[in-house]
Amino acid sequence: MPHDHPPHPHDHAHPEGVDPHAPAPDFGDERSRWYEVASDVMRDMLIEQNVFSAREVRKQIELMESKTIQLGGKLIARAWVDPEFRQTLLKDGKAAAASLGIPVTEASLTVVEDTPAVRNVIVCTLCSCYPRSLLGQPPSWYRNKAYRSRVVREPRKVLAEFGSAVPDDVEVHVHDSNADLRFIVLPMRPAGTEKMGEAELAALVTRDSLIGVAPPRAA
């Protein structure tokens, strides 16, 4: 573990070959990998050919990074209070979102429903497919090989590590977002929220609850 306090007598061991006083690694320190270089070169060439401008690239990044959980929260809260909307959402997530004025640019949005008998969890084992136009960028752990390989292999253990162990009488359904479908979980409305309005309910919905690793809670 790097530490920057003054020299001191060591009563703890440092692993062989590791500089204990090396600065902590920072984002961008790693050497660019092949695909990063290729993508930079491609972007520069397309800008040079006037296919798009640097300003448009920046605007697109800004748009992608401006998406937050709020839109997802709005969808879920409406489904909790409006049974008809709930049916539409489960049948065609994209159409349901559009009816609230929320554009989803992915080909489709499939909504899987938690019930007292079923817990759902989403993964993309091949890469990091995620409904970005609705929820923005996925969390870093969603893209890690550890999550991607383990949640299909031992979902109950992974869910327990997220603090949401599933009792054995409840089915765990893992959804691999490996191809054209994109997913969110429709979690169960938490107990103790009977008097809450739609906006208050929407605020309970978290990113992780839409991936399925941690159901929303009232407090």
| Cβ density class 39-61: b for 16+ within 10 Å, e for less | eeeeeeeeeeeeeeeeeeeeeee
Answer yes or no: 149 catalytic: no
DSSP H or E run through 174: strand 171-176
Q: What are phi and psi of 210, to 5 degrees?
A: -80, -25
The tokens describing 66, both together, are 């401006």
**Does the CA dihedral 62-63-66-69 come out positive or negative?**
negative
- The yes-or-no answer on residue 129 being catalytic is yes
- Residue 113 CB, nearest approach to another protein (Å): 13
**Of residues 129 and 205, the one with the C-beta less far from another protein:** 129
**Bridge partners, 111 (sequence order):** 184
Q: Among residues 54, 56, 178, 218, which is the contact residue for another protein, using CB under 8 A? A: 178
Q: Name the β-bridge partners of 118.
A: 115, 171
**Residue 157 interacts with another protein (CB under 8 A)?**
yes
Question: Which span (57-65, 69-77, 79-87, 152-160) binds another protein, by CB under 8 A?
Answer: 152-160
Which span sits near another protein by CB under 8 A: 5-13, 97-105, 169-177, 201-209? Answer: 169-177
- DSSP letter assigned to residue 123: E
Residue 32 among the catalytic residues:
no
**133 in active site:** no
- Of 169, 180, 184, 77, the residue nearest 120 (C-alpha): 184
Contact letters (x/-) for another protein, 79-118, by CB under 8 A?
Answer: ----------------------------xx----------
Of the candidate residues 74, 78, 175, 189, the single one contacting another protein (CB under 8 A): 175
> Catalytic pick from 66, 127, 133, 177?
127
Structure-block tokens of residue 189: 């409305």
When asked if residue 172 is in the footprint of another protein (CB under 8 A), the reply is yes
Token pair in block for residue 207: 């990113």
Q: Which residues bind another protein (CB under 8 A)?
A: 107-108, 125-126, 152-157, 168-169, 171-176, 178-181
Which of the residues are catalytic?
124, 127-129
